Structure 1
Amino acid sequence: MSESDELQMTGLELSPRKIAYLKFMFRQEEPTVRTSELAESLGVDPSTVTKTLDELSNAGYVDHIPYKGVRLSPAGKDYASFLIRRHQILELVFSKYGLSPEEVCEEVTRLEPFVSKKAIEAICKSMGYPTVSFCPVNPEMKIL
């Protein structure tokens, strides 16, 4: 994503399902992900994965690699990085209210598709730009 595209990103462009695809792909060790792997991990039909990946490809977020699968495009990597960061920041906010780590993650996952980049930046500013996330799996994980 170019600098001008970055400025135009609101964080509200994608559906919760498409957000899940990008976040899943971003977290994988291998840059290329097979359709079957996405279907199994996200619990959806392979035909749904194909359709969603076509939509993400048409929007410039993923690239198809014949006979190998798909990978995040540079724009997809930038957007997925923002999505992970947004999740981490919202987890920090929700962690202050006595919810278990699992409840925090569930609530944030429900809410995050509706929280803009502008709101996340305001939250970060009000929190002093935190650098360590609230992650039940890895509490020392750095915020992207």
Structure 2
Amino acid sequence: MHEITGLELPPKKVEYLKLLFKKGDLVRTTDISSELNVDPSTTTKTINDLSESGYVDHVPYRGVRLTEKGRVNAEFFVNRHNILSLLLTHYGLSPGEACDEVSRFESFVSKPAIDIICNAMGHPTVGSCGSISHSSCGSHH
């Protein structure tokens, strides 16, 4: 298994993986386009890129699903979002404000930094944007 740095993918591709992770199994490309508010041709190109990189399986006429590599990365991306959002709520932002703010910069925060923040926060399991699992959160004991 490859080591996740948290910086492998540009923000737009991170959003695709997070959406697929939240949706579960096969997701139609038309649903991805409408949820992410992007042109279907852009969705198709991005899915092809993610497929070539081993993050997703595209099943023609059925939909897209995460590979194991995609699932592990997407779980980290979702946890990263939730940990950073929770962090900002500790400093006075409302959950909605924190979620919006984190969406602007989360893709630039590395896994080592998230691991340290997560550890310092006592490995929270509930964030302001959703639950936090710790299979992707390295602990530094």
Structure 2 distance, partners of 1:9, 1:118, is 9
- Give how far 1:134 is off: 1.8
- Alignment of 1:128 with 2:122, yes or no, is yes
Q: Which residue of 1 aligns with 2:76?
A: 82
> Take 2:15 and 2:8, find their aligned partners in 1: how far apart are those partners?
13
Count of aligned positions: 133
- 1:34 Cα deviation from its structure 2 partner: 1.0
Q: Runs ≥4 in structure 1, deviation > 6 angstroms?
A: none
Report the identity percentage: 53
Which residue of 2 is the match for residue 18 of structure 1?
Answer: 13
Question: What stretches of structure 1 of length at least 5 have no aligned partner?
Answer: 136-140
After superposition, the C-alpha distances for 1:68-101 in whole angstroms (9 at most, x for unaligned) are 0111111101100000110111011100121122
Matches within 5 A, 1:1-144: 2=1, 5=2, 8-29=3-24, 31-135=25-129, 141-144=130-133
Q: CA offset at residue 142 of structure 1?
A: 3.1
Helix, strand or coil at the partner of 2:7: coil
CA distances 1:9-65 after superposition (whole Å, capped 9, x unpaired): 100011111011011111114x11111111111111110001000110011000011
Give distance in 2, aligned partners of 1:33 and 1:12.
25
Q: Write the letter of the residue equivalent to 1:20.
A: E
Separation in 2, partners of 1:41, 1:119? 29
* 2-structure distance, mates of 1:142, 1:100: 17
Deviation at 1:111, TM superposition (A): 1.4
Distance 2:104 2:131 in 1: 22
CA distance in 2, matches of 1:121, 1:95: 18
Structure 2 Cα separation of the partners of residues 89 and 99 of structure 1: 14
The alignment's C-alpha RMSD in Å is: 1.1
User: Offset of 1:125 from its aligned partner?
Assistant: 1.4
Q: Distance in 1 between matches of 2:8 and 2:48?
A: 16
Q: Whole-Å Cα distance in 1 between the matches of residues 53 and 44 of structure 2?
A: 14
Q: Taking structure 1 as the reference length, what is the TM-score of the superposition?
A: 0.88
Q: Distance in 1 between matches of 2:126 and 2:32?
A: 29
Deviation at 1:66, TM superposition (A): 2.0
